[in-house]
Amino acid sequence: MAIPTSNHNPPFNIVRLSHIVLTVTDLAASRKFYADLLGLQVTDENDKRIYLRAMEERGHHCIVLQQGDVAVAGDLGFKVQDDEHLERAKAFFDRSGLATQWVEEPHQGRTFRTRDPQGIPLEFYSRMDRLPAIHQQYALYKGIKPLRIDHFNCFSPDVGAAVHFYNSIGFRLTEYTDTQETGDLWAAWMHRKGGVHDIAFTNGIGPRLHHVAFWVPTPLNIIDLLDVMSTSGYLANIERGPGRHGISNAFFLYIRDPDGHRIEFYCSDYQTVDPDHEPIRWDLKDPQRQTLWGAAAPRSWFEEGSVFAGTEPRKPKLLATPIVAP
């Protein structure tokens, strides 16, 4: 499949990814996990929702945990440039035949919800409550010391179609995996904010959320979290890592929250702000694309993910076998 040329004049300007909503089945257990263990800061809470932010973030929240009977993934949130671009974004989705709805969301200004062509629930806004800076309040740092939300990764039944749609709204391709025989896309990494990715797509039964990732200061923060998890009742929640990806060059760790939602901790990828940045290709058969060094990924990492609320996953278009741990 041909890789699309970067679209430098999209119909509206998405600044970056912003936040995610996750439905959890035990709000108290999730609070203990995200706030006490990981170190995200609670910015508001009631008996139905908990809002959290990471240490460098001025926006009110990067993750919203909401109580529910079934654990599912909710909206993926994106910040646009201003209210004019918010109107442009809504008009674009309307023209594309993708239903939109203005909604009232606490701590956000005007916000609309929609879904992409795969069925992933999306939320766009231009203004969120701003909070005082806390990045130098070092007494607040605990857990893995998360600095900011970094990216989403989603299973997609058609990675090529996902890439072409997100390219049309200004996401730029940084790295991709394809099959040597046909050139079909197995996975793709796309950005807005100048890192390796704000959103990525991996071939599989989908759409489903594969993981949400947080940027941390150093690999030592990841090692420290592993020590704490292994001695405080969370050993079984460690899924994969630590290691270094070939794609993105990032040092990583994957864990599962009490409901099975996958979280990645991530540092040391590279800058992609140049408009003529050329995407890097990886062959599906190259084992170093997923693991430059470290143990191979377990089968769960390729097969398990969080279902998006209101969307029925479907089988992928591409049938290929990744390299998995025995």
Note whether residue 205 is domain-resident.
Answer: yes
User: How many domains does the chain contain in total?
Assistant: 2
CA angle in degrees (0–180, nearest 5) for 183-314-125: 90
Examine the domain organization and report whether 100 and 158 are in the same domain.
Answer: no
Residue 285: pLDDT band with limits 50, 70, 90: confident
Q: How far is the first Cα of the chain from the last one, in angstroms, to the nearest whole number?
A: 31
Note whether residue 121 is domain-resident.
Answer: yes
CA angle in degrees (0–180, nearest 5) for 191-159-4: 60
Residue 69, pLDDT score: 98
- Name the E strands within 135-230: 148-156, 172-178, 185-191, 199-203, 208-215
Q: Domain of 102: which CATH number? A: 3.10.180.10
Residue 218 pLDDT greater than 70, yes or no: yes
Examine the domain organization and report whether 79 and 191 are in the same domain.
Answer: no
Residue 321: pLDDT band with limits 50, 70, 90: low
Do 283 and 177 contact (CB within 8 A), yes or no? Answer: yes
Residue 319, pLDDT score: 80
Over residues 119-134, the pLDDT tens digits come to 999 999 999 999 999 9
What distances in angstroms separate CA 233 from CA 37, 180, 210, 226, 237, one per listed residue? 11, 44, 24, 11, 9
Note whether residue 105 is domain-resident.
Answer: yes
Note whether residue 300 is domain-resident.
Answer: yes
Q: What is the pTM of this model?
A: 0.96
Examine the domain organization and report whether 161 and 302 are in the same domain.
Answer: yes
Examine the domain organization and report whether 300 and 244 are in the same domain.
Answer: yes
Examine the domain organization and report whether 60 and 29 are in the same domain.
Answer: yes
Range of the domain at 212: 145-307
Note whether residue 9 is domain-resident.
Answer: no
Examine the domain organization and report whether 80 and 180 are in the same domain.
Answer: no
Examine the domain organization and report whether 154 and 112 are in the same domain.
Answer: no
Residue 183, pLDDT score: 77
Note whether residue 314 is domain-resident.
Answer: no
Note whether residue 133 is domain-resident.
Answer: no
